[in-house]
């Protein structure tokens, strides 16, 4: 038996996939989900081999949901739009179904995945991470950061981010409500955040320029940026020579 999960906020879309799957008795739908929050829990609980995932959903979208899963299964995306993400789909070994799709198109996507299982496939998690990196590189600027804290999912609007700090394979997202870990790189955030609002002052720090109160000379050709984070004591982060040049451009100094 092949375990599969349907994640789509449209009941009709889920019904169509279930109808098309009747031709594949080896595939069993173990759960249907209305949104990404339910999807994260269902994947963790059932550990499916295959997920049919809608891209555009309320609360969190399909890409944001996948970022919260450590070892995502194989994904066949379903989407009603043909914007930046489609190029990313086409450049990676992950198929997608552009709504509305026919049984013939559905069969083609499913056969592609089944054929991959017979060959020596790229691990699903590696495949999906490669896709997410490509989507991030071609997507509009981030409007929010979605993080997982224990069993809860938290959505952080970008204006609430004070600064970001590198922490091994993670990034610490500092906000007035606390510090949250995100499994992304500093390069990812440098690329996707508005560089007029967030400046990489140092290889380990990206700072919201709105909370910089002053720059203090520190060592030769380096500075400390003093930040008003709302805490009783101000926070200081290092500013490299390159970071200082970036700040001068953004702040007009």
| The predicted structure's pLDDT at residue 132 | 66
Whether 173 contacts 181, CB under 8 Å: yes
Strands (E), 40-177: 50-54, 74-79, 96-98, 144-149, 152-157, 161-167, 170-175
Rg (CA), the chain: 21
- Interval 5-12 mean pLDDT: 96
- List the structure tokens of 244: 């200082």
Q: Give Cβ neighbours of residue 124 (< 8 Å, ≥ 6 apart).
A: 71, 72, 73, 74, 75
Do residues 181 and 165 touch, judged by C-beta distance below 8 A?
no
What percent of the chain lies above the pLDDT cut of 90? 59
The whole-number pLDDT of residue 120 equals: 57
How many whole angstroms separate alpha carbon 213 and alpha carbon 246?
A: 16
CATH class of 144-251: mainly beta
Sign of CA dihedral 178, 179, 182, 185: positive
201-237 pLDDT, tens digit each: 999 999 999 999 999 998 887 899 999 999 899 999 9
Task: Report the distance separating Cα 82 and Cα 96, nearest Å.
Answer: 11
pLDDT at residue number 149: 86
Residue 199: pLDDT band by 50, 70, 90 thresholds?
A: very high
Q: pLDDT category, 17, cuts 50, 70, 90?
A: very high
Q: How far is CA 65 from the centre of its chain?
A: 7
Which of 18-27, 86-95, 223-232 shows the lowest mean pLDDT across its residues? Answer: 86-95
- pLDDT of the residue at 67: 86
For the chain, the domains span 2-138, 144-251
Helix (H) or strand (E) holding 245: helix 241-251
Looking at residue 34, its pLDDT comes to 95
Mean pLDDT of the chain: 88
- pTM for this prediction: 0.76
CA dihedral 24, 35, 8, 33 (to 10 degrees): 30
Dump pLDDT digits (tens) for 125-182: 666 666 666 666 555 556 899 998 888 899 999 999 999 999 988 999 999 999 999 9
Confidence category of residue 58, pLDDT binned at 50, 70, 90:
confident
* Range with top average pLDDT, 10-19, 63-72, 182-191, 221-230: 10-19
CATH superfamily entry for domain 2-138: Response regulator (3.40.50.2300)
State the Cα–Cα distance between residues 66 and 218, nearest whole angstrom.
41
Per-residue pLDDT for 93 more than 50? no
Query: Highest mean pLDDT range out of 52-56, 96-100, 173-177?
Result: 173-177
Range with the poorest average pLDDT among 20-34, 79-93, 226-240: 79-93
């Amino acid at each position: 038996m092949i375990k599969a999960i349907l994640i789509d906020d449209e009941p009709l879309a889920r019904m169509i996939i279930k109808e098309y799957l009747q031709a594949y008795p080896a595939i069993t739908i173990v759960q249907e989900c209305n949104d990404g929050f339910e999807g994260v829990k269902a994947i963790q609980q059932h550990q499916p081999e295959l997920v049919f995932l809608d891209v555009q959903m309320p609360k969190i979208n399909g890409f944001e949901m996948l970022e919260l899963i450590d070892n995502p299964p194989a994904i066949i995306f379903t989407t009603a739009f043909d914007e930046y993400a489609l190029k990313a789909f086409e450049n990676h070994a992950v198929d997608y179904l552009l709504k509305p799709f026919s049984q013939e198109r559905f069969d083609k996507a499913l056969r592609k995945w089944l054929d991959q299982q017979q060959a020596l496939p790229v691990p699903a998690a590696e495949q999906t991470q490669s896709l997410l990196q490509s989507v991030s590189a071609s997507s509009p600027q981030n409007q929010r950061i979605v993080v997982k804290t224990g069993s809860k999912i938290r959505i952080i609007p970008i204006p609430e981010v004070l600064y970001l700090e590198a922490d091994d394979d993670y990034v610490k997202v500092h906000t007035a409500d606390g510090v949250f870990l995100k499994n992304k790189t500093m390069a990812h955030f440098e690329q996707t955040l508005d560089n007029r609002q967030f400046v990489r002052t140092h290889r380990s720090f990206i700072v919201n320029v709105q909370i910089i109160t002053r720059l203090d000379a520190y060592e030769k050709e380096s500075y400390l940026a003093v930040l008003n984070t709302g805490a009783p004591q101000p926070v200081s982060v290092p500013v490299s020579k390159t970071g200082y040049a970036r700040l001068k451009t953004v702040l007009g100094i």
